[in-house]
Amino acid sequence: MKKNRLGSSDLLVGEIGLGCMSIGTEEQQGVHLIHEALDRGINLLDTADLYHHGRNEEIVGAAIRGRRQDVILATKVGNRRIPGQEGWGWDPSKPYILSAVKESLRRLGTDYIDLYQLHGGTIDDPMDETIEAFEQLKSEGVIRYYGISSIRPHVIREYAQRSNIVSVMNQYSLLDRRAEEEVLPLLQERGISVIARGPVASGVLVDGGGEKAAKGYLDYEEAELLDVRKQLKTFAGADRSMGQTAIRYSLSHPAVAAVIPGASSLGQLEHNTAAADIPPLTGQERPYNKSAGPIVMMRSTADTVNVYSL
């Protein structure tokens, strides 16, 4: 599998990673799925302390035992569970980050994290304090690099200017192209990589995803999603599936170092990793070239329907 450098770091990540949130809570099944992923060339595993109240980190930790050298391990911090209260609170403070990382290390069964990510963020956060926490962990060798997971352009802009983040995890697909307007150009200019999540739009953009379309996606109506699916299927042709074409789309922007589709079965995993063997989309098909190629209906951030070329 092709590997790309993550920002200015020395982390080389396979262009297709695994979003581990989808592996479930049964350890044997989850470990088997992760082992299959590693055997197929995936090395970027993304989890979070939030997923299944830490259980996801535990399963990932069990899976990488004895294979730590094969893995670029990414997890997240910032969501805090308060005993006796429902749900999660948001806490990007330095004391919490310094304490939460210890629990993640314990669950993951490792003494370092390759990529530690702030799991969200608002413009009102104490960013200097948050950055100071990550820098301290980096200097101590607890983490190798840090990044953020965010879809908020103003938050991303601040961290890009004020910190040493090497990556931004951002939702990016044929059906969610908001990042193309500001985020991707900004990060490309600054040499910060994008890890694209949601490349198949919660299953809407895969073969057999018609039922998903019926449930809607973002603010698309079912008729719009079915139209996109029809055109994408025609464009994909016989050599690649709809989902693989959607994955290649997200990878086609030069700011994107990796995509992290989820997989809850071996079949889904095999389908996703097979996209690595498909030639990249040509220049005429890339997302930032809207002058040629099959027409697909997409939304802009203004929530109006626009016609762009794939």
Q: Six-digit token pair at 222?
A: 């079912």
Q: What residues pair up with 12 in beta bridges, in sequence order?
A: 5
Nearest to 170 by CA among 138, 155, 161, 302: 155
Q: Six-digit token pair at 304?
A: 């109006």
**119: three-class secondary structure by DSSP:** strand
Q: How many C-beta atoms lie closer than 10 Å to residue 306's C-beta?
A: 11
Dihedral, CA of residue 275, residue 248, residue 183 and residue 37, to nearest 10: 0
- Pair 80, 130: CB distance under 8 Å: no
- DSSP summary character for residue 202: G
* Catalytic choice (51, 159, 220, 249): 51
**264: three-class secondary structure by DSSP:** coil
Cα dist. 254→37, 183, 192, 202 in Å?
A: 24, 12, 11, 23
51 is catalytic: yes
Helix locations, the chain, DSSP H = 27-39, 55-64, 94-108, 127-139, 153-162, 183-190, 210-215, 222-236, 242-251, 266-274
**C-alpha dihedral sign at 252, 254, 260, 265:** positive
User: What does R_g of the chain's alpha carbons equal in angstroms?
Assistant: 19
- DSSP summary character for residue 303: S
Q: Six-digit token pair at 112?
A: 């370092």
Q: What phi, psi does 9 have (nearest 5°)?
A: -80, 180
Identity of the amino acid at 127: M
Q: What residues pair up with 113 in beta bridges, in sequence order?
A: 143
| Residues noted as catalytic | 51
